[in-house]
Copies of this chain bind each other. A is one copy, B any other.
Amino acid sequence: MIIELLEKIFSWTSSNKSGKEAKQRLKLIIAHDRIGLNPEALESMRRELLEVVSRYVEIDPEETELSLESDQRMTVLIANLPIRQVKRFPKVRTPES
């Protein structure tokens, strides 16, 4: 049920320009209600989150799609990330490093 809803969300955000075979993708959604996180902090958090993801999978930056939506209740950031390949030995950042 949840997966079906998510597929709806991503088929809207994906441009799917040429009808060619869909790439493998990783999707990241950050949604918050009125928690008072300012746009700069959200942008900075988004950058750090993508930096984490990119240590695990190789993202194609040219085809990365980012969108930001908001209404009175919620702000939603959606990242649709085409994956070139999964890194076999991701650099795990421990809390001490």
Query: Could you tell me which A residues sit within 8 Å of B by CB distance?
Result: 1-3, 5-10, 12-13, 22, 24-37, 41, 44-45, 48-49, 51-53, 55-57, 69-71, 73-74, 76, 78, 83, 86, 90, 92-93, 95
Taken together as a complex, chains A and B put the C-alpha atoms of A7 and B9 apart, in Å, by 12
Q: Give chain B residues whose Cβ lies under 8 Å from the Cβ of A74.
A: 3, 6-7
Chain copies in complex = 2
In terms of DSSP, what is the predominant structure of the interface of chain A? mixed
Q: Give chain B residues whose Cβ lies under 8 Å from the Cβ of A69.
A: 2-3
Taken together as a complex, chains A and B put the C-alpha atoms of A48 and B49 apart, in Å, by 8
- Is the Cβ of B26 less than 8 Å from the Cβ of A41? no
Out of B3, B28, B37, which one reaches A30, CB within 8 Å?
B28
